[in-house]
Structure 1
Amino acid sequence: MKKIILTGGGSAGHVTPNLALVPRLKELGYNIQYIGTENGIERKIIEDQKIEYHIISSGKLRRYFDIKNFTDPFKVLKGILQAILIIRKEKPNIVFSKGGFVSVPVVIAAHINKVPVIAHESDITPGLANRLSAPYCTKICATFPESLKNIKGNNSVLTGTPIRKELLDGSRIIGRRMCGFDNEKPVLLIIGGSLGSTFINNTVRNSLNELLKNYNIVHICGKGNLDRSLKERKGYVQFDYINEELPHIMNAADIVISRAGANVIFELLALKKPNLLIPLSKKSSRGDQILNAASFEKSGYSMVLQEDELTSQVLLDRIFKLYSSRNEYINNMEASPVQDAVGKIINLIEKYSI
Structure 2
Amino acid sequence: MTTKPASPAHQDAPRHILFTGGGSAGHVTVNTAIIPTMIEQGWKVSYIGSRSGIEKQLISRMSDVDYYGIATGKLRRYIDLENVKDPFRVVKGVYQAFRLIRRLKPDVLFSKGGFVSVPVVLGAWLNRVPVIIHESDLTPGLANRIAGPFAKRICITFAETAAHIKGDKAMHVGPIIRSDLRKGSAYKGIQWCKFTPGKPVLLIMGGSLGSQRINDVIRRNVEELTRTYQIIHICGKGEIDSKLIGTPGYRQYEYIHDELANAVACADVVISRAGSNSIFEFLALRKPMLLIPLSKSASRGDQILNAESFRQAGFCEVLQEEELDDATFLQSLGKVYAGREAIKKQMQQSEQGDSTQQVIALIEQTARVSE
- TM score, norm. by length of structure 2: 0.87
Evaluate the alpha carbon distance shift between residue 316 and residue 10 of structure 1 in structure 2; reply closer, same or farther with a 3 A threshold: closer
Q: Is the 8 A contact 1:219 1:237 kept in 2?
A: yes
Q: Distance in 1 between matches of 2:212 and 2:265?
A: 25
Tell me which residue corresponds to 1:147: 161
Q: Report the 3-state secondary structure (helix = DSSP H, G, I; strand = E; otherwise coil) of the residue aligned with 2:228.
A: coil
Q: Distance in 2 between matches of 1:65 and 1:330?
A: 43
Tell me which residue corresponds to 1:190: 204
In the TM superposition, 1:92-171 aligns within 5 A as 92-171=106-185
In the TM superposition, 1:299-318 aligns within 5 A as 299-318=313-332
Are 2:33 and 1:3 equivalent residues in the alignment?
Answer: no
Task: Give the deviation of 1:137 after TM superposition.
Answer: 0.6
Q: Report the 3-state secondary structure (helix = DSSP H, G, I; strand = E; otherwise coil) of the residue aligned with 1:267.
A: helix
- Matched letter for residue 36 of structure 2: P
Q: Distance in 2 between matches of 1:230 and 1:44?
A: 27
Q: Is the 8 A contact 1:159 1:338 kept in 2?
A: no
Q: Report the 3-state secondary structure (helix = DSSP H, G, I; strand = E; otherwise coil) of the residue aligned with 1:249.
A: helix
Alpha-carbon deviations, 1:2-59, whole Å to 9, x = none? 1111111223322232111111111221111112233333234323324112343333
Task: Give the deviation of 1:334 after TM superposition.
Answer: 2.6
Q: Report the 3-state secondary structure (helix = DSSP H, G, I; strand = E; otherwise coil) of the residue aligned with 1:212.
A: helix
Decide which of 14, 17, 28 is 1:15's aligned counterpart. 28
- Matched letter for residue 334 of structure 1: Q
Tell me which residue corresponds to 1:45: 58
Tell me which residue corresponds to 2:334: 320
Evaluate the alpha carbon distance shift between residue 109 and residue 209 of structure 1 in structure 2; reply closer, same or farther with a 3 A threshold: closer
The worse-fitting range, judged by mean Cα deviation, of 230-239 and 139-148 is 230-239
Task: Give the deviation of 1:305 after TM superposition.
Answer: 0.9
Evaluate the alpha carbon distance shift between residue 91 and residue 223 of structure 1 in structure 2; reply closer, same or farther with a 3 A threshold: closer
- Gap runs ≥5 in structure 1: none
- Gap runs ≥5 in structure 2: 1-13
Tell me which residue corresponds to 2:245: 231
Evaluate the alpha carbon distance shift between residue 186 and residue 89 of structure 1 in structure 2; reply closer, same or farther with a 3 A threshold: same
Tell me which residue corresponds to 1:85: 99
Evaluate the alpha carbon distance shift between residue 326 and residue 7 of structure 1 in structure 2; reply closer, same or farther with a 3 A threshold: same
Q: Distance in 2 between matches of 1:203 and 1:101?
A: 30
Tell me which residue corresponds to 2:349: 335
- Matched letter for residue 144 of structure 1: F
- Matched letter for residue 140 of structure 1: I
Q: Is the 8 A contact 1:261 1:289 kept in 2?
A: yes
Q: Is the 8 A contact 1:148 1:156 kept in 2?
A: yes
Evaluate the alpha carbon distance shift between residue 309 and residue 62 of structure 1 in structure 2; reply closer, same or farther with a 3 A threshold: closer
Q: Is the 8 A contact 2:25 2:207 kept in 1?
A: no
Q: Is the 8 A contact 1:145 1:158 kept in 2?
A: yes
Evaluate the alpha carbon distance shift between residue 103 and residue 194 of structure 1 in structure 2; reply closer, same or farther with a 3 A threshold: closer
- TM score, norm. by length of structure 1: 0.91
Question: How many pairs are equivalent?
Answer: 354
Decide which of 230, 233, 237 is 1:219's aligned counterpart. 233
Evaluate the alpha carbon distance shift between residue 322 and residue 350 of structure 1 in structure 2; reply closer, same or farther with a 3 A threshold: same
Q: Distance in 1 between matches of 2:271 and 2:79?
A: 35
Are 2:278 and 1:270 equivalent residues in the alignment?
Answer: no
Q: Distance in 2 between matches of 1:331 and 1:104?
A: 41
Q: Is the 8 A contact 2:47 2:68 kept in 1?
A: yes
Q: Distance in 1 between matches of 2:328 and 2:49?
A: 43
Q: Is the 8 A contact 2:240 2:252 kept in 1?
A: yes
Task: Give the deviation of 1:104 after TM superposition.
Answer: 1.6
Q: Distance in 2 between matches of 1:55 and 1:189?
A: 33
The worse-fitting range, judged by mean Cα deviation, of 9-18 and 228-237 is 228-237
- Matched letter for residue 336 of structure 2: L
Q: Distance in 1 between matches of 2:271 and 2:362?
A: 34
Decide which of 311, 317, 331 is 1:297's aligned counterpart. 311
Q: Report the 3-state secondary structure (helix = DSSP H, G, I; strand = E; otherwise coil) of the residue aligned with 1:213.
A: helix
Q: Report the 3-state secondary structure (helix = DSSP H, G, I; strand = E; otherwise coil) of the residue aligned with 1:130.
A: helix
Task: Give the deviation of 1:69 after TM superposition.
Answer: 5.0
Q: Is the 8 A contact 2:190 2:197 kept in 1?
A: no
Alpha-carbon deviations, 1:137-176, whole Å to 9, x = none? 1111112233221222221122234332222211100101
Evaluate the alpha carbon distance shift between residue 105 and residue 237 of structure 1 in structure 2; reply closer, same or farther with a 3 A threshold: closer
Evaluate the alpha carbon distance shift between residue 324 and residue 126 of structure 1 in structure 2; reply closer, same or farther with a 3 A threshold: same
The worse-fitting range, judged by mean Cα deviation, of 58-67 and 264-273 is 58-67
Q: Is the 8 A contact 2:175 2:277 kept in 1?
A: yes
Q: Is the 8 A contact 1:138 1:155 kept in 2?
A: yes
Task: Give the deviation of 1:84 after TM superposition.
Answer: 3.0
The worse-fitting range, judged by mean Cα deviation, of 51-60 and 9-18 is 51-60
**Backbone CA RMSD of aligned residues:** 2.3
- Matched letter for residue 237 of structure 2: K
Q: Report the 3-state secondary structure (helix = DSSP H, G, I; strand = E; otherwise coil) of the residue aligned with 2:73.
A: coil
